[in-house]
Chains A and B, each alone.
Chain A
Amino acid sequence: DGGITQSPKYLFRKEGQNVTLSCEQNLNHDAMYWYRQDPGQGLRLIYYSQIVNDFQKGDIAEGYSVSREKKESFPLTVTSAQKNPTAFYLCASKGLLYGYTFGSGTRLTVV
């Protein structure tokens, strides 16, 4: 089945530590996106990529980094510069048609 896979489902980060969230899709979609969702809040765009080896900052990119070395993969690194990283992180992809397909999310907690 085609889809988008995020891992891990739960992730714990210590103070000052970098962590990387995985996002893989087998939908052959060109565009991929990372969103952050805080409790009871909407979706805020962190980074997006329309094509391999290219990506742009979203509305809240500070403290985050991404790479897009392969069409299928768009990992997100939460760096120690992100002072409030506890949140639910969602990855999405988009093909030629308009709709986004979302992954099931990664819940990151600072311990």
Chain B
Amino acid sequence: GENVEQHPSTLSVQEGDSAVIKCTYSDSASNYFPWYKQELGKGPQLIIDIRSNVGEKKDQRIAVTLNKTAKHFSLHITETQPEDSAVYFCAAIPTGTASKLTFGTGTRLQVTL
């Protein structure tokens, strides 16, 4: 089955700096890669996603890049703000698995003042 690895597990940046979280996946058939943000005590919220026919997608301060050849994708947050502090999860869906998402282990992002 699919295996998603996520790095780093924790990340601390100063307000205004950029943050990058990286994920790799194992199943070359995966074709959808969402990113979720989870605040303390809440459910994960979808913040951005990318499909395998697209190399990069941007939404204001958030961008995701995908390298199908290397089987890795990354989340980029620019001009970080304290409210960006949360746990971020990457995920992948391989075809033929009844749309079950496989999640990475999460990255705890701390934006300091």
Contact = CB atoms under 8 A, between A and B. Distances in A.
Interface of A: 6, 31, 33, 40-43, 45, 48, 50, 56, 58, 90, 92, 94, 98-105, 107
Contacts, number: 50
B106 A42 contact: yes
Most buried by A among B41, B43, B105, B108: B43
B42 interface: yes
Most buried by A among B36, B45, B99: B99
B98 interface: yes
Nearest to B10: A40
Interface residues of B, number: 22
B75 to A, nearest CB: 15
A92 B100 CA distance: 11
A104 B106 CA distance: 18
